[in-house]
Amino acid sequence: MFLEPQETMPQTSIVFSSVLGSSCSGQVQPGMGERGSVAGSSGDLIFQEGRLISGSLEALMEHLVPTVDYYPDRTYIFTFLLSSRVFIPPHDLLARVGQICLERRQQLETGSEKAKLKSFSAKIVQLLKEWTEAFPYDFQDEKAMAELKVITHRVTQCDEENGTVKKAIAQMTQSLLLSLAARNQLQELREKLRSPAMDKGSVLKAKPPATQKDILGVCCDPLVLAQQLTHIELERVSSIHPEDLMQIVSHMDSRDKHRCRGDLTKTYSLEAYDNWFNCLSMLVATEVCRVVKKKHRTRMLEFFIDVARECFNIGNFNSMMAIISGMNLSPVARLKKTWSKVKTAKFDVLEHHMDPSSNFCNYRTALQGATQRSQMANSSREKIVIPVFNLFVKDIYFLHKIHTNHLPNGHVNFKKFWEISRQIHEFMTWTQVECPFEKEKKIQNYLLTAPIYSEEALFIASFESEGPENHMEKDSWKTLRTTLLNRA
């Protein structure tokens, strides 16, 4: 499974309620030249209450391409371009779009509507513009760029007089190249900033060096730390694009032999963001376990509980879940003497919000509330919604697995892809929120570069703080010590 969760990661129930309700986008917009009846079919396209629900792949491709008196709805353009990669690589789709354009252009040239040729060409350029803006990475493929040049060359032939179409194409191409260059630079930068190496820890030492800082020495205000975590979340999630998320579907689907698996580097942003969650969880556990004195460990736990609560209030559910997961890791959870001194009422409330029962019903209610707040927001602070990414990925995956790509008649189950597209579009809206909090470089640097103990080092530090209490723990402690002595 793609992005396989760690053992401590939240698990989503396979039970997935029907999400293909009336909230799906894709309603036919009046005046858009929609073809087909309110309930019935139009060629190989099937509509239900004015909404396209299925069609052959060929008919869906033809539905994407404008005519003299028709231009596809923008929600359809986004949904089809996003979902089509499950069935056909973008460069092949672009080639087919080019063929359809040529056929329709030839019909205009030989018919009585030659005067409308320029209008048709302008619509084709507009479609290509929307494609290059929404999915610029599709054109990093040399084949796709070549097909784009072929299509644009054809449409400029009818614009010899004033060159308006040619100017629009030049602007589109320049914007595309700038977008690709910026994305490549970002990817190169992110590959340099690999996740921090697991620190084996100062194991078997009575205490860490006096000069070694902990998180409280860098930031003792839970709200400020929650704000800096939100900064990091928004920066990292902003590198995720719709086509990356569609890899969850196309990467896993083994039934469509001709699907577009895409460039494996496209999944890097997903894996990097998922890895950030794990690193934050391990950092929380490290900060707790490396503290020698019980009084200070208690303070550290209460501090992270307050940070998680502030993350919840902000709408940063991903950091909140990572912090809770870190405190629930075995090396931390077993520190009973420390936990007995912690005022756990606030922690119990947080765990209630992230209770996995009923498919994380409590979390989903809180997420819905944050979403509604975001939609009605007057400030950037109220717009922040950062969902638990692992659960979002699972929702997309199970939606994909529960509903088939094709119906018994061979049609593409477009009703399914409307919903996948709606969820991805909503996620992308959240990622585009500008963080309103002032950036504290010192705090962020610590969060991103502080040493993180390995699982082995965490257990050793935990046992040194509070000795083993049962036979199983004693055996584990003995094994760890023997391993360390053999290494020495």
Under 8 Å CB-to-CB from 374, ≥6 apart: which residues? Answer: 315, 382, 383, 384, 385, 430, 433
- Distance, in Å, from the CA atom of 123 to the CA atom of 106, rounded to the nearest integer, reads 16
Per-residue model confidence (pLDDT) at position 159: 58
Per-residue model confidence (pLDDT) at position 326: 97
All residue ranges of the chain with pLDDT < 50 are 1-41, 195-207, 210, 254-265
> pLDDT (tens digit, 9 = 90+) per residue, 270-279?
888 989 999 9
- Distance, in Å, from the CA atom of 30 to the CA atom of 191, rounded to the nearest integer, reads 46
Write b or e for each residue in 188-202: b if 16 or more Cβ atoms lie within 10 A of its Cβ, otherwise e.
Answer: eeeeeeeeeebeebb
Backbone angles phi, psi at 240, to 5 degrees: -90, 135
Q: Where are the domains of the chain?
A: 89-188, 215-252+266-453
- Residue 362, exposed/middle/buried by CB under 10 A (0-12, 13-18, 19+)? middle
Per-residue model confidence (pLDDT) at position 186: 67
Count of alpha carbons within 13 Å of 92, Cβ hemisphere only? 12
Q: Whats the size of the chain, residue-wise?
A: 488
Q: What is the CATH number of domain 215-252+266-453?
A: 1.10.840.10
Per-residue model confidence (pLDDT) at position 409: 93
- Distance, in Å, from the CA atom of 44 to the CA atom of 335, rounded to the nearest integer, reads 64
Tell me the CA distances in angstroms from 235 to 229, 273, 430, 434, one per residue in order. Answer: 10, 10, 12, 9
- Distance, in Å, from the CA atom of 233 to the CA atom of 264, rounded to the nearest integer, reads 23
CB 159 within 8 Å of CB 118: yes
Looking at every residue in the chain, the average pLDDT score rounds to 83
Per-residue model confidence (pLDDT) at position 110: 76
Please tell me whether residue 442 adopts helix, strand or coil conformation. helix
CA 461 from centre of chain: 35
